[in-house]
Structure 1
Amino acid sequence: MILALCVDDKNGMAFNGRRQSMDRLLRADLLTAAGESPLWVSPYTAKQFDPAPANLCPAEDFLLRAGPGEICFAEFPPLAQVLDRAEGILLYRWNRTYPADQYLDFDPAAAGFRLVSTADFSGSSHKNLTKEVYTK
């Protein structure tokens, strides 16, 4: 599976049981990356996609159900527990700091992932988003 994650400047992911932020163009980028393959999400995350695309696969155990090459969009840690199944990471950076009480629980480089590309793009609610692509 390929983990897709969003973090702030301090690697924060969530605050008070909720996502820090969301962005329509970031979701569009995820859907483009997934193509026709399944895009695995939690039922909470699925609410961002309205209308839901045909390849959106919400499931409580989405981190376990994603197969090789399939994108798994995770908004909450813990994630270190599934790194042995991950082939890559799509790490989206909000490029700002939000309140956070849940943080990314691993460092991609320390976990054996190699940064292969970085691209900045404009979001719908964020002036500048950064997408980092990692492979094992």
Structure 2
Amino acid sequence: MVLIVCLDLNNGMYFNNRRQSRDREVIKDIAFITKNNNLIMTEYSHKLFENECENIVITDDFEGQYLENDFCFVENEDVQLENIKKIIVYRWDKVYPSDYCLNLEGYHLTSTLEFKGYSHEKIVKEVYLRNEE
């Protein structure tokens, strides 16, 4: 499965019981890259995508029987990385107090792309792959 998250500069996500951002350009990019696969998320996250994607699977069970190429968007949960082969990070150029942090140990950065968001001047899209053992 491919994990998609939005992180601040300290790998923090979801701060003070609020999402990091609802940047429109990030939502459009996620809709584009996931258009041919399932996009798995919670009901909480679905509100961001309901007018952008038709391939959404709403669940609280991220450990379910999903395909290797399915995407999972997480913003308000501790993430278990056992079944995650690839992580796509949308990184803000800010630091917020965070309720959860994502540990990227065991993954290596393979690409970055900087773009202007709607609500953020600079967003960096980073792609990480699991290290070979």
- TM-score normalised to structure 1 length: 0.86
Q: Deviations over 1:36-91 (max 9, x none)?
A: 21111110000112425211211121x22332011100002311x2x120110001
Task: Name the CA distance, whole Å, in 2 between partners of 1:39 and 1:50.
Answer: 12
Task: Name the CA distance, whole Å, in 2 between partners of 1:52 and 1:25.
Answer: 11
% identical equivalent positions: 36
Task: Name the CA distance, whole Å, in 1 between partners of 2:20 and 2:85.
Answer: 26
Q: Any gaps of 5 or more consecutive residues in structure 1?
A: none
Task: Name the CA distance, whole Å, in 1 between partners of 2:58 and 2:115.
Answer: 27
Corresponding residue for residue 126 of structure 2: 132
CA RMSD for the aligned pairs?
A: 1.5
Corresponding residue for residue 28 of structure 2: 28
1:7 partnered with 2:7: yes
Q: Any gaps of 5 or more consecutive residues in structure 2?
A: none
Task: Name the CA distance, whole Å, in 2 between partners of 1:114 and 1:69.
Answer: 19
> Which of 105, 113, 131 pairs up with 1:119?
113
Deviation at 1:95, TM superposition (A): 1.0
Query: Match of 1:21, SS?
Result: coil
Task: Name the CA distance, whole Å, in 2 between partners of 1:121 and 1:52.
Answer: 20
Higher helix fraction (1 or 2): 1
Q: What count of residue pairs does the alignment treat as equivalent?
A: 129
Task: Name the CA distance, whole Å, in 1 between partners of 2:30 and 2:58.
Answer: 15
Task: Name the CA distance, whole Å, in 1 between partners of 2:20 and 2:86.
Answer: 23
1:122–1:128 contact (8 Å) kept in structure 2? yes
- TM-score normalised to structure 2 length: 0.88
> Which of 75, 89, 100 pairs up with 2:98?
100
1:52-91 aligned within 5 A: 52-61=52-61, 63-65=62-64, 66-79=66-79, 81=80, 83-91=81-89
Corresponding residue for residue 43 of structure 2: 43
Task: Name the CA distance, whole Å, in 1 between partners of 2:20 and 2:35.
Answer: 26
